[in-house]
Structure 1
Amino acid sequence: MTSKLKLLVATGVVTAAILGANPAFAAGTTSGTGITNNVNVSFQVGGVTQTAATGSDTFVVDRKINLTVAASDTATTNVSPGQNGAITTFVVTNTSNASLDFSLAATQGPATNGGTDNFDVSGLQVFVESGATPGYQPAEDTATFINALAADANKTVYILGNVAAGRATGDVSGVVLTAVAREDNAAATLGAALTNNNGTANGATTVETVFADTGANATEAAGDDYTVAAADISVFKSSRVVSDPINGASNPKAIPGAIVEYCISVANAAGSATATSVAISDTLPADTAAGGVTFSTGSIRVDGTVTSPGASQTCTGGSAGGAFSDPIVSGTLSDIAANSARALIFRVTVD
């Protein structure tokens, strides 16, 4: 009888209560948690109840290393030629059962949202969201690694890159964010590399580290890409004689004293990005001994309507604006969306 009871106590075959375990999370029981199993066996001898026999077993939960890295959305990041600090956004999640640091690296990669990768952004940088103000803030989001990320917690990470001038609409550059789990060293510095104990024997009272990520290397990565959306601008300049001193407005000719109207149109091709801050500067021809033209004060109109931009264009409307500083006529047009055009119109008198 006694030997059988000892066997029951030692092996814990009888139903037991699990005491001292932390609440369960997606990442599992916290690493280092001691799990104790207590057993209580009651019995009688000759019909008399004896003192119950008890036993217990305790083991320590090992550390499971896992993480995920994902782009914050499934859409490409639209950028402009010559844009610096273009941002792609990722989320790194600690699915381990322990707090960890994470090193971060940004590299070139394939396109992930359609299209073909055909150029590289330059000056890649990685920064971690501080949480003080949502969205990338250069003065706040300065950390280049993730420090002490708790189990089941996540951090937003930004990749910044520079787009070369001259890239065309539809050009694509892929980037990859790689995160590597590291020791949480309880300091504001990046912890040491982890050691994988998958191949070692388990110790009941020691915490082994097990790499559970896809490649069993405490590393995960995800890609995103930049797609260039450029404005495809064409500029056309035309003139028409409005009136002359002989014929008036009826079939006028470009004789001295005639009023000539210039139209400078700016057209943006279909499928292009909106052109903004469209500033025009037109230098009138210099006067010569043989004559020239004289600017008609107050004649500048901006945001005129253009029909058939080009040599045969017609320009109408617009509102007063612009400026003349001899010999330069200047003005700024409103934003020009894809497949549309705007014009700056002004008049001169033939000398």
Structure 2
Amino acid sequence: MTKKIATIALLLALCYPLTQAAYAAGTPSGTDISNTATATYNDGATPVTKTASAPNIVVDNKVNLTVTKNGDATVLPGSTDQALVFSVKNEGNTTQRYALDATNSAGIVMDNVRIFLDNGTTPGVLDAGDTLYVNAATFGDVDADDSLAILIIADTPAGAVSGDISDYQLVATTVDAGTTTVTTATVGPNTAGVDVIFADNAGSAAGDTTRDGKHSSEGTYTVNLLSLVLNKSVVITWDPTNLFVTPKAIPGAILTYSIKASITGVGTAADVVITDEIPDNSTYVVSSLKLNGAPLSDGADLDVGSVAGAPVTVTVGLGDLTNASPEQTITFDVTIN
């Protein structure tokens, strides 16, 4: 009998950790955790079964959420409906709602600041299908492990200047599902019901501390005006005495001029045209004009380049350029008279 009792005790000890491992941290709140131990043995020729149950444990509400910035914005003065992109995820084990707030934490103050739920038709961009936030009921309940795609939308002040920044915090506060009531943590020892435990990390907003039922993240608007960057250089490529070996700037030498154009900032530079007068005391080398290494004709014909006029002027049309356009390189040769 002693051996049988020992065997029963060993089986019960092994069963306990296995039972515990079956429940992950994401078990929904309100779930009953019940446990019954069963012992069977023989009393002589009679089989006997004994059971013992522990009181049920109710899984509590672990409140946890994460606000994540997914995109900043580069803007122009006076631009409207500019978006900062965020996600709000329910990391807890209970369906919740969230009260949202957008607050300026540094830099210039944007105009007409609003919060929208991004419906995904044009992700990260405000469109007609996106939903304007009014209160915690606007976007409804968020199940455990689900997320909201959120946009902070604002207009840039007309008086903003290049280099201005505007930092905005998106702050999400946990709210009871189906209500607009802010969730509160249970104080004191564990109760028989569903207690509420805050388990969130500190966010980026001032006052957003650990285990406060909130989380926050910061996005930045940066004002960056459209600008065309133009650089010009010249090298001596040949002279009639030294040829290509360490050529010097003597009469008859060939100079190669290079003009590089690129765009910084936001927007489109439309119909960009580069012109350059052939310098005094030099003569343009016929058919030397190139754009990005490809030859252009000197005549005013179907391509984008020409060399004409008095004084002689190189003209190249680059069309519309943005900051996504590759750097444009124009080269041409002259000889020193």
Same fold per superposition (TM over 0.5): yes
Q: What is the distance in 1 between the residues matched to 2:94 and 2:116?
A: 23
Check if 1:213 corresponds to 2:211: no
Q: Is the alpha carbon distance of 1:142 and 1:212 closer, same or farther for their aligned partners in structure 2, counting shifts above 3 Å?
A: same
Pairwise CA distance, 1:130 = 3.1
1:167, CA displacement in angstroms? Answer: 2.4
Q: 1:220 to 1:274 in 2, by over 3 A?
A: closer
| Alpha-carbon contact 2:94-2:144 (below 8 Å) kept | yes
Distance 1:319 1:80, change over 3 A: farther
C-alpha offsets along residues 251-279 of structure 1, whole Å, 9 cap, x if unaligned?
A: xxxxxxxxxxxxxxxxxx9774265375x
**Take 2:194 and 2:18, find their aligned partners in 1: how far apart are those partners?**
19
> Taking structure 1 as the reference length, what is the TM-score of the superposition?
0.58
Letter in 2 for 1:122: D
Q: Is the 8 A contact 1:21 1:34 kept in 2?
A: no
**Runs of 4+ that moved beyond 6 A:** 17-23, 316-320
Matched residues in 2 for 1:335 and 1:39: separation?
78
Answer whether contact 1:22 1:29 (CA < 8 A) is retained. Answer: no
Given the superposition, is the C-alpha separation of residues 319 and 65 from structure 1 closer, same or farther in structure 2, using an over 3 Å criterion? farther
Contact 2:272-2:321 at 8 Å conserved across structures? no
Of 81, 85, 90, 1:85 maps to 81
Aligned counterpart, 1:201:
189
Is the CA contact (8 Å cut-off) linking 2:268 and 2:320 kept in structure 1?
yes
* CA displacement, residues 54-74 of structure 1 (integer Å, 9 cap, x when unaligned): 12232110110000001014x
Match of 2:51 in 1: 54
Cα 1:37–1:175 shift into 2, 3 Å:
same
Does 1:130 pair with 2:155? no
TM-score using structure 2 length: 0.60
Q: Secondary structure at the residue paired with 1:148?
A: coil
Which one-letter code corresponds to 2:275 in the other structure?
V
The one-letter amino acid paired with 2:94 is: A
- Contact 1:173–1:227, Cα closer than 8 Å, also in 2: yes
Is 1:148 aligned with 2:137? no
Query: 1:305 offset after TM fit, Å?
Result: 2.9
Select the residue among 223, 231, 236 that pairs with 1:228. Answer: 223
| Aligned 8 A contact 1:63 1:210 in 2 | yes
User: Which whole-Å deviations, capped at 9, do the CAs of 1:217-259 have from their partners, x for residues lacking one?
Assistant: 110000010111102589xxxxxxxxxxxxxxxxxxxxxxxxx
Structure 1 unpaired stretches of 5+: 111-117, 235-268, 279-301, 309-315, 321-332, 341-351
Deviation at 1:216, TM superposition (A): 1.7
| 1:306 corresponding residue in structure 2 | 275
Distance verdict in 2 for CA 1:143–1:275, change over 3 Å: closer
Give 1:337 deviation, angstroms: 5.1
Q: CA offset at residue 168 of structure 1? A: 2.5
Residue 200 of structure 2 aligns to which amino acid in structure 1?
D
What is the alpha-carbon root mean square deviation over aligned residues? 3.9
Query: Which residue of the partner structure matches residue 207 of structure 2?
Result: none
Instruction: Name the % identity.
Output: 27
1:273 aligns with 2:261: no
Change (3 A) 1:221 1:101: same
CA contact (8 A) 2:272 2:320 kept: no
Number of residue pairs matched by the alignment: 242
Find the counterpart in structure 2 of residue 37 from structure 1: 35
The 3 A distance-change label for structure 1 pair 16 and 56 is farther
Residue 97 of structure 1 aligns to which amino acid in structure 2? N
Task: Go from structure 1 to structure 2 and tell me whether the alpha carbon gap of 1:200 and 1:318 turns closer, same or farther (over 3 Å shift).
Answer: farther
8 Å CA contact 1:183, 1:192 repeated in 2 = yes
Letter in 2 for 1:212: A
Instruction: Please say if 1:174 is aligned against 2:167.
Output: yes
The residue that corresponds to 1:107 in the other structure is 103
The one-character-per-residue Cα deviations of 1:72-129 (angstroms, maximum 9, x if unpaired) are 14xx31111111111010011100101100111101124xxxxxxx422122111112
Given the superposition, is the C-alpha separation of residues 158 and 51 from structure 1 closer, same or farther in structure 2, using an over 3 Å criterion? same
Q: Distance in 1 between matches of 2:93 and 2:87?
A: 18
**Is 2:148 aligned against 1:165?**
no
Q: Residues 202-224 of structure 1, C-alpha deviation per residue, up to 9 Å, x if partnerless?
A: 123x1111111122211000001
Q: Contact 2:83/2:126 (CA < 8 Å) preserved in 1?
A: no
